[in-house]
Amino acid sequence: MNLRVVAELISSLDISMGSGFSNDNQNNLSEWDRLLLRVGSDRDRFAFKKLYEHFAPRLKSFLLRIGSDMSAAEEICQESMIMVWRRAETFNPDSAGASTWIFTIARNKRIDKLRKDNRPLPDLNDPSFFQIPVDKSDDILQRLEEEKKITNALKNLPPEQAKLILSAYYEEKSHRKIADETNLPLGTVKSRIRLAINRLRSQLEELEG
C-alpha cells in the first residue's frame, strides 16, 4: 500500500453519512444498499454523489493493488461509477451488497480494458479477485497503524536500502528495472533487497514486542 492510498483511506474516514431512512422494510440493508436503491428507483443525484465520494477512492486503490497503473485505475474507476449510475436499477440487495456489486463492476471493467488493449488477462485464480474490500473502519484503522509501523521502520534503514524497498514494493518495479536505474548488477540489487527485508522484518518484530 503506497502513501497515496493511505491518504485516501484517511480522507475516507471523514465521510459522514446521515441515515435519513425510515422504511422498516429496509432496516436490514446497509446504508450503501439504500443509497444505491435510491439511485436505481429515483435517479437520486445526491445519493449517487455520496456513493461516488465513498467508493471512488476505494475502487482506485483496489485497481492499483491488483496491477493497474495510475492512469488506467483512474479511467476504470470513472467508467465503473458511470456504470453504477446507469445500471443501479438492476441492483438486487438479496443477491449481493452494494460494496460487492460495485467492486465487481470495477473488476469486470478492468478485464474488459485488458482485452481491449490486447494485454494478458489476469489470473482469475488470484486471491486478489476474491477479496472484495469490506467497508469497516476498524480494518482501515488497523491498516493505517501497520503503515505507520512500516514507515517508521523504513526510516531506520540505510537510505540506499530504504530506496530499494520503496522501488520494489511501493513502486512495484522489477529487480531488472531497479538495476538499470541504479547502475548496479542485478545480483547486487537482489542481495541488497533481501538484506533490507531482513532488517525491516527484525525492526517490525521489535516494534511488535
Instruction: Calculate the average pLDDT of the chain.
Output: 75
Q: At residue 184, what is the residue type?
A: L
Fold of 137-208: Arc Repressor Mutant, subunit A (1.10.10)
How does pLDDT run across 118-172, given as a tens digit for each residue? 655 455 455 544 455 554 444 545 555 666 677 777 778 888 888 888 787 766 6
Question: Under CATH, which number does the domain 3-129 receive?
Answer: 1.10.1740.10
Pure H helices in the chain: 3-12, 31-42, 45-65, 70-87, 98-116, 137-155, 159-165, 175-182, 186-208
Cα–Cα–Cα angle for 161, 166, 168, rounded to 5 degrees: 95
Q: What is the mean pLDDT, run by run of 10 residues, along the chain of 209 residues?
A: 38 35 55 92 93 92 86 92 93 88 90 74 50 49 63 79 79 82 88 84 70
* pTM for this entry: 0.48
Rounded to whole angstroms, how far apart are CA atoms 76 and 80? 6
137-208: same fold as 3-129?
no
Please enumerate in sequence order all residues whose Cβ is within 8 A of that of 129, keeping only pairs 6 or more positions apart, or say none. 66, 107, 122
Would you kindly state where each structural domain of the chain is located, as residue ranges?
3-129, 137-208
